[in-house]
Amino acid sequence: MFIFSNYTFYSQSYYRHSNDMACSISSGERGLMVNCTGCCLLPRPFETHNRSGRKDYYLLYMCRGKMNVLSSEGLKTMHAGQFITFYPEREYRYAGSGNTEIVYFWAHFTGTDTGKILEDFGMTDRKIFDAGVSDDIIRKFGLLFSEFIRKDEYFESASASVLESILVSLARLSSKKPAGAAPNPSEKIFASLLYIHRNYYKEILLEELADIEHLSPSRYRAVFRKYAGLSPMEYIISLRIKRACELIRHSDLAIKEIAESVGWHDQLYFSRIFKNKTGYPPSAYRNIPDVL
């Protein structure tokens, strides 16, 4: 048994076909297809060595302990929080001494888009990356296991979606910026952007957004503009107008009701801003062919 945060995992394996425990399949039927997945707990010495490799791709994510792995740079020690991807028909080899319990999650997958997906994420063959032991990734593996248990008519799409989400999380957590490189502006204001998108219809002050990111109002405004090309208030107005456009075109709400639902209680003021941003008064916009 392995307990991490609120999740408890045992050694477990899930296969696409119950009568094919190897499940080494190369398929071009889909862009991404998960063949099998699972979690390994290994308390004793072991070695896995496949000289000819598999027909599919193999993701291995360490969560506890360490083991020796044949990487693209030769035999390396792989620690908790690290992951490696073995490409098809490539030798793979890893072993544990048995001095400490080893826990790792794994998935075998195939598909016409798989190589491009891994290339986009920089996950080259047998290269070890450090993502850290992540509650989010472990939770997503649990979701992947659930899809194999459920295995309903949505299984193919659902399992592929969860696996791609795991790969995205691993890529984000393991990405390294060159020394001295400036962080993406969105990283500095992500929490406040989330707050804006959830509360755009309410009164939002610049000061409260700056407090969320622990920045001064002037510094926050500068960082925000660098990311969005707009001031925070202009960004909020743009969200309100986009939502108003949706409601005008796809609901039978009165203009006054729409104005209030997106944060303006003065209908005349809303109409003036709406026309300024779209070129059309709200009352006419409903009958105009799609323009935005």
160 closest CA partner among 260, 29, 287: 29
pTM above 0.85, yes or no: no
Per-residue pLDDT of the chain (292 residues; tens, 9 = 90+): 455 555 555 688 899 876 656 688 888 899 999 999 999 988 777 888 999 999 999 999 999 889 999 999 999 999 999 999 999 999 999 988 767 788 999 999 999 999 999 999 999 999 999 999 999 999 999 999 999 999 999 999 999 999 999 999 999 999 854 444 445 556 678 899 989 999 999 999 999 999 999 999 999 999 999 888 999 999 999 999 999 999 998 888 999 999 999 999 999 999 999 999 999 999 899 877 654 4
- Neighbouring CB atoms inside 10 A of 34's CB total 28
Could you tell me if 38 and 29 are in contact, meaning their C-beta atoms sit under 8 angstroms apart? Answer: no
Sign of CA dihedral 228, 224, 167, 147: negative
Largest separation between any pair of C-alpha atoms in the chain? 75
**E strand or H helix that includes residue 191:** helix 185-199
The domains found in the chain, sorted by start residue, are 2-174 (2.60.120.280), 180-292 (1.10.10.60)
Query: What does the alpha-carbon distance between residue 117 and residue 253 come to, in Å, rounded to a whole number?
Result: 43
Q: What are the distances in angstroms from CA 87 to CA 60, 114, 155?
A: 12, 10, 24
